[in-house]
């Protein structure tokens, strides 16, 4: 698989570092966003192949970011994995309705996260 760009959007620095460590072995470029507004700006500027998106973030929540991404022609097709503690049935349904490609709940298993990322990038 060719090198891809992955945007990790989470307001928790420790989570961003854990995700980066979990995905480092895949050889992709990993960029970070610290809140929802920053995530949207980075997604537009960087045009990542995949966004790992937390739901609970300041400024814009992950669902709002996902909605904006899907409405913009230049980001409408970006792959999005919701990586979050927001895992109620209503959250899962809302993410699916907005067009997320996969949903991974925190705390996450690094091996499982890598497998999901590889699968989503290959689709």
Question: Could you tell me the CATH number of the domain that includes residue 115?
Answer: 3.40.50.2300
| Backbone angles phi and psi of 83, in degrees to 5 | -120, 100
DSSP code for 102: E
**What SS3 string covers 2-59?**
CCCEEEEECCCHHHHHHHHHHHHHHCCEEEEECCHHHHHHHHHHHCCCEEEECCCCCC
Q: Look at the chain and report how many structural domains it folds into.
A: 1
Q: Tell me if the pTM is above 0.85.
A: yes
Arithmetic mean of pLDDT, 108-121:
96
Q: What is the pLDDT of residues 56-79, one digit of tens each?
A: 999 999 999 999 999 999 999 999
User: Containing domain of residue 112, as a range?
Assistant: 5-122
């Amino acid at each position: 698989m060719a090198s891809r760009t992955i945007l990790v959007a989470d307001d928790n620095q420790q989570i961003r570092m854990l995700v980066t460590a979990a995905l480092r072995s895949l050889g992709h470029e990993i960029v970070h966003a610290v809140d929802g507004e920053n995530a949207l700006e980075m997604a537009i500027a960087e045009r990542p192949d995949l966004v790992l998106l937390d739901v609970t973030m300041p400024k814009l929540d992950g669902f709002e970011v996902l909605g904006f991404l899907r409405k913009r022609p230049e980001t409408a097709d970006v792959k999005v994995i919701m990586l979050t503690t927001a895992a109620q049935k209503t959250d899962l349904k809302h993410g699916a309705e907005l067009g997320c490609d996969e949903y991974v709940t925190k705390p996450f298993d690094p091996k499982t996260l890598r497998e999901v990322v590889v699968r989503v990038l290959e689709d």
